């Protein structure tokens, strides 16, 4: 695979697949995993191009008991991977337009996933910008903190596509490794859903400029 054995030192942070969180790290409830993913580093090595970013916004989705979860409506098709094993990518196209990347959680046989909503660029800024701005008009330039802000923007910036669905996320082309735990975490209702709004399962680093969308009913933990 592209990038196997690649080690990059970025501001004293080594981006190395040997440092990837193991798949069994994700074999916990989605809410717990989501909270712990804030501050972690998402790394991609697609087409030999390394990019990385610090996760600043995620959403947890449960099993059939969660009315906003795909697992509540689908047991077959792409959503089937939500039942495990954990530590794999669940990639689907939102609104028929752009891919979104989730990480499967919970013990094998129990549905759950965490949607990666936003990251602050750490490495590969130029590649992210090229991917995000290629369809924009000449002269358009995104602010750095907007390059991977929003689930579709994140997937595009990191080169995540539908053909990455089901891949393990502890080795190239994608992996997640530990970063710095944020001093504060805030939770809100999830964005863009009509059911399950009572669950405060969107987790953000409060005040971070890369967090996408509005932040209603912010609860600091």
Q: What is the DSSP string of 33-72?
A: HHHHHTT-EEEEEETTEEEEEEEEEEEEE-STT-TTSGGG
pLDDT value at residue 78: 78
26-30, 107-111, 173-177, 216-220: least confident range: 216-220
83-92, 114-123, 135-144, 194-203: least confident range: 135-144
What is the pTM (predicted TM-score) of this model?
0.89
132 found inside a domain: yes
- CA distances, 195 to each of 67, 132, 168 (Å): 6, 31, 30
158 found inside a domain: yes
- CATH value at residue 104: 3.10.300.10
Segment 90-117 mean pLDDT = 93
For residue 62, give its domain range: 8-220
87 found inside a domain: yes
CB 179 within 8 A of CB 54: yes
201 found inside a domain: yes
183 found inside a domain: yes
215 found inside a domain: yes
3 found inside a domain: no
The structural domain count of the chain equals 1
Q: Which residue in this structure is represented by tokens 């936003």?
A: 118
1 found inside a domain: no
pLDDT tens digits along 57-86:
999 999 899 988 878 687 777 788 999 899
């Amino acid at each position: 695979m592209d990038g196997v054995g690649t080690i990059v030192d970025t501001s004293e942070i080594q981006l190395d697949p040997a440092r990837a969180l193991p798949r069994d790290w994700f074999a916990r409830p989605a809410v717990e995993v989501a909270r712990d993913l804030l501050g972690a580093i998402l790394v991609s090595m697609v087409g030999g191009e390394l990019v990385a970013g610090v996760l600043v916004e995620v959403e947890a989705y449960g099993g059939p008991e969660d009315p906003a979860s795909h697992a509540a409506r689908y047991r077959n098709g792409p959503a089937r991977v939500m039942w495990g094993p954990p530590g794999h990518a669940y990639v689907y196209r939102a609104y028929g337009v752009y891919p979104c990347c989730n990480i499967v959680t919970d013990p094998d046989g129990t549905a759950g996933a965490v949607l990666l909503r936003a990251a602050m660029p750490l490495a590969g800024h130029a590649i992210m910008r090229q991917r995000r701005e290629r369809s924009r008009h000449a002269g358009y330039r995104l602010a750095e903190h907007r390059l991977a802000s929003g689930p579709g923007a994140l997937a595009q910036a990191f080169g995540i596509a539908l053909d990455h669905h089901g891949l393990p996320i502890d080795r190239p082309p994608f992996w997640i490794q530990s970063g710095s735990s944020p001093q504060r975490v805030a939770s809100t209702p999830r964005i863009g859903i009509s059911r399950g709004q009572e669950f405060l399962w969107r987790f953000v680093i409060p005040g971070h400029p890369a967090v996408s969308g509005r932040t209603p009913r912010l609860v600091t933990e």
